[in-house]
């Protein structure tokens, strides 16, 4: 064996390789006095301590809590600049969509991303990934959507590919060309939709630069009908589907994700009862983003209703320079308990197994079981409740990613 994590006070993990819905989301395995054995970057044993195991490297967990590495199923990781200059507008009461309509918001990040070189975007992304890793995130999804031209979307996705190859955090790339209508197409939105469908999607598919296609389905951005059209074209090219829906206004986005067979639907703050039922029937994972509700001072998605209706709930950061400039998944974990009223067990599942399912990785990450990737967090915590109860500082003691050990 390459690595042994011994003296684990409590090993807490969901089990299995499919998203947990309904009452199952609350079912996790809790083993006291445990150990985890790792070989070739994979878990070979996770359970009760005992027997003698020889390992090249031993980490003494000192009686601490151990969980699977966190999976951040929704990030906009690659972008130029930041948006601190919009803080003043926000404080004066200007809304997220008003800032976007006036050419700021996403569009200001588009300008800065177009103006940043591939190498600079890569270096910045690497720094962000190291920070995420130190906060316990061992896998993340990463969206494009700040290029909004063929060349600039490809640039962002090439950066994502290089970041994946850097091997810091496991990374799953998503094409979000339909994130906003860029300034140069303001008077001709159909021409931009044609560009996404006829030029961007085929090249991204051919160059295998993204696994999923996402869209911002929202008032003044893309309608549910336009979303169906674009996602339908993406599906035909082999992309898995995701969509940002019903974040600000209830416009039938959740229903649309069920109809299109999306793997996940994002935000869902205003999702209708029917939309939630449709998602449960179609098996769409709800990727909820409570740090965005916090940051935009908006209501919180109806996570309890979703769980009661049988929707698998995942929780992610939505890390982006506008509505969620935070890449520490521990804050949304706190909010999942405090605002969504999830139990610690449900919330753990939401940032591990269900998050893995939201990005098509439930078979390989998200639980501590033999055969899965050796992605593990050792927490400065004696039990599971503690990491949801404490907040505001980093509670990670040690992270193992792909069998490599990083001590904080
Ligand atoms: O840059 O504002 N919601 N897209 C949809 C975002 C937030 C990212 C941004
Ligand atoms: Zn987003």
Instruction: Identify which of 322, 324, 327 to mutate to test ligand 1's pocket (most ligand atoms within 8 A of the CB).
Output: 322
**Which pLDDT score is estimated for 54?**
87
* pLDDT tens-digit map of 94-111: 999 999 988 899 999 999
For the segment 250-264, the average pLDDT, to the nearest whole number, is 97
For residue 52, is pLDDT > 80? no
Cβ(104) to ligand 1 under 6 A? no
Q: Which two structure tokens, joined as six digits, stand for 177?
A: 């060309």
Pairing of strands 29-39, 3-13: antiparallel
Structure tokens at 234: 């993406």
76 lines ligand 1 (CB under 6 A): yes
332 Cα: distance to centroid of ligand 2 (angstroms): 14
Say how far apart CA 74 and CA 56 lie, in whole Å.
Answer: 35
Q: Say whether 12 sits in a helix, a strand or coil.
A: strand
* Cα–Cα separations (whole angstroms), residue 76 to 108, 169, 173, 315: 14, 14, 10, 15
Q: What is the mean pLDDT of residues 11-24?
A: 98
The answer, yes or no, to whether any atom of ligand 1 lies below 6 A from the CB of 320, is yes
Q: Which ligand is nearest to the CA of 266?
A: 2
Q: Separation of 216 CA from ligand 2 center, angstroms? A: 8
323 lines ligand 1 (CB under 6 A): yes
Strands 65-68 and 57-60, sheet pairing: unpaired
Average per-residue pLDDT for the chain: 97
Q: Mean of the pLDDT values across residues 159-181?
A: 98
Return d(Cα 221, Cα 101) in angstroms, integer. 9
Q: What is the DSSP string of 162-197?
A: HHHHHTSSEEEEEEEEETS--GGGTT-HHHHHHIII
DSSP state for residue 239 in the 8-state scheme: -
Which pLDDT belongs to residue 51? 79
**Share of the chain residues as helix, strand and coil, in percent rounded to the nearest 5:** 40, 25, 40
- Regarding the beta carbon of 106 and ligand 1, being less than 6 Å apart is answered yes
Distance 289 CA to ligand 2 centre (A): 8
Which residues make up the environment of ion ligand 2, defined by Cβ < 5 Å? 318
Gyration radius of the chain over CA positions: 20
Using the predicted structure, report yes or no on whether residue 286 has a pLDDT greater than 80.
yes
> Cα(380) to centroid of ligand 2, in Å?
30
Kindly state if the Cβ of 105 falls inside 6 Å of ligand 1.
yes
Residue 216, ligand 1, Cβ within 6 A: yes
With a cut of 80, say whether residue 73 has pLDDT above it: yes
Low-confidence winner among 85-94, 191-200, 254-263, 368-377 (lowest mean pLDDT): 85-94
Kindly state the percentage of the chain with pLDDT values over 70.
Answer: 100
């Amino acid at each position: 064996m390459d690595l042994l994590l011994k003296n684990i006070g409590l090993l807490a993990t969901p089990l299995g390789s499919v998203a947990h819905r309904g009452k199952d989301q609350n079912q996790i395995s809790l083993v006291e006095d445990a150990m985890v054995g790792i070989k070739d970057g994979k878990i070979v044993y996770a359970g009760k301590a005992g027997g003698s195991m020889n390992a090249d490297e031993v980490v003494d967990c000192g009686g601490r809590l151990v969980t699977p590495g966190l999976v951040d199923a929704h990030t906009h990781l690659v972008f130029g600049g930041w948006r601190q200059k919009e803080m003043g507008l926000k404080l004066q009461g200007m809304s997220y969509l008003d800032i976007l309509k006036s050419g700021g918001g996403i569009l200001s990040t588009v300008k800065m991303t177009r103006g940043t070189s591939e190498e600079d975007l890569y270096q910045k992304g690497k720094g962000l990934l190291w920070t995420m890793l130190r906060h316990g995130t061992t896998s993340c999804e990463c969206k494009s959507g700040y290029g909004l031209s063929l060349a600039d979307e490809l640039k962002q996705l090439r950066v994502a590919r290089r970041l994946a190859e850097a091997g810091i955090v496991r990374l799953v790339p998503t094409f979000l060309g339909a994130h906003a209508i860029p300034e140069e197409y303001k008077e001709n939105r159909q021409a931009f939709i044609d560009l996404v469908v006829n030029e961007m999607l085929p090249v991204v598919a051919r160059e295998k630069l993204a696994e999923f296609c996402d869209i911002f389905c929202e008032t003044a951005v893309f309608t549910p009908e336009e979303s169906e059209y674009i996602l339908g074209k993406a599906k035909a090219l082999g992309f898995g589907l995701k969509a940002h829906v019903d974040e600000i206004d209830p416009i039938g986005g959740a229903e649309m994700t069920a109809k299109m067979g999306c793997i996940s639907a994002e935000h869902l703050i205003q999702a209708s009862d029917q939309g939630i039922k449709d998602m449960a029937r179609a098996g769409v994972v709800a990727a909820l983003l409570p740090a965005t509700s916090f940051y935009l001072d908006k209501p919180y998605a109806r996570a309890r209703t979703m769980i009661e209706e049988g929707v698998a709930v995942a929780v992610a950061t939505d890390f982006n320079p506008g509505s969620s400039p935070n890449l520490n998944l521990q804050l949304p974990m706190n909010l999942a308990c405090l605002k969504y009223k999830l139990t610690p067990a449900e919330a753990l599942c939401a940032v591990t197994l269900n998050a893995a399912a939201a990005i098509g990785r439930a078979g390989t990450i998200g639980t501590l079981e033999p055969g899965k990737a050796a992605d593990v967090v050792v927490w400065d915590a004696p039990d599971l409740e503690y990491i949801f109860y404490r907040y505001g500082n980093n509670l990670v003691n040690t992270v193992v990613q792909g069998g490599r050990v990083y001590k904080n």
